[in-house]
Chains A and B, each alone.
Chain A
Amino acid sequence: EPEVTQTPSHQVTQMGQEVILRCVPISNHLYFYWYRQILGQKVEFLVSFYNNEISEKSEIFDDQFSVERPDGSNFTLKIRSTKLEDSAMYFCASAEGGSAYEQYFGPGTRLTVT
């Protein structure tokens, strides 16, 4: 069964460093998402991406964040200058269509900023 994959599973970085989180969505899906979950809190929407551009972003997704689909398979989230409060689990998701369709989530990348 196709699944969303994410790498790395755990990333430790120092404050101020740049990190790139990688995702491989399900191959025939057209909509891509990033969410994050701070430990013990609920899952929060960051950004949605369709047709090679951002379709929606949350207040969390400020200028320090960017997304890219550099080729036909990968979908990346870049944080330019990490802060302590960026420590969280980051989930990538993909869907065949918009919110009328199920979103399939990857296993997540645990980002720890020290």
Chain B
Amino acid sequence: SQQGEEDPQALSIQEGENATMNCSYKTSINNLQWYRQNSGRGLVHLILIRSNEREKHSGRLRVTLDTSKKSSSLLITASRAADTASYFCATDAGDPDKLIFGTGTRLQVFP
């Protein structure tokens, strides 16, 4: 089974709408991170949330973490066409030396 699985796999919205992506994981974690990847490019770090935190904000991004449900969500408010990308959650699965990435959500924002 996957350590990180994002839901939905793909999401299409209009500019100005909010986009919500969910991530579920299996094992205990120390922290969870969200990354963005534009097509064929590298990964850009968005937010890190620690296991003792429940919510974190950065600009138009809001991340929540529910360790009892082993899930996290990423909310992008007032989306823009430039937000079009794949979004991945990554956890340490309690292991300090690596990140395990989820399968990703492909977000398409139409102008």
Contacts and interface: CB of A to CB of B under 8 A. Distances in A.
Interface in A44-100: 44-45, 48, 50, 55-56, 58, 89, 91, 93, 98-100
A22 to B, nearest CB: 15
Contact of A99 (B42, B98, B102, B104): B98
B29 to A, nearest CB: 9
B56 interface: no
Interface of A: 31, 33, 35, 42-45, 48, 50, 55-56, 58, 89, 91, 93, 98-108
B15 interface: no
A42 B106 CA distance: 12
Contacts of B41: 107-108
A93 B48 CA distance: 15
Contacts of A101: 48
Contacts of B35: 105
B92 A99 contact: yes
14 contacts: A42-B88, A42-B104, A48-B98, A50-B97, A56-B95, A89-B40, A93-B43, A99-B95, A100-B50, A100-B92, A101-B48, A103-B45, A105-B45, A107-B42
Interface in B84-111: 88, 90, 92, 95-104
B12 interface: no
Contacts of A107: 41-42
B31 interface: yes
A45 B98 contact: yes
Interface string B25-40: 0000011010100001
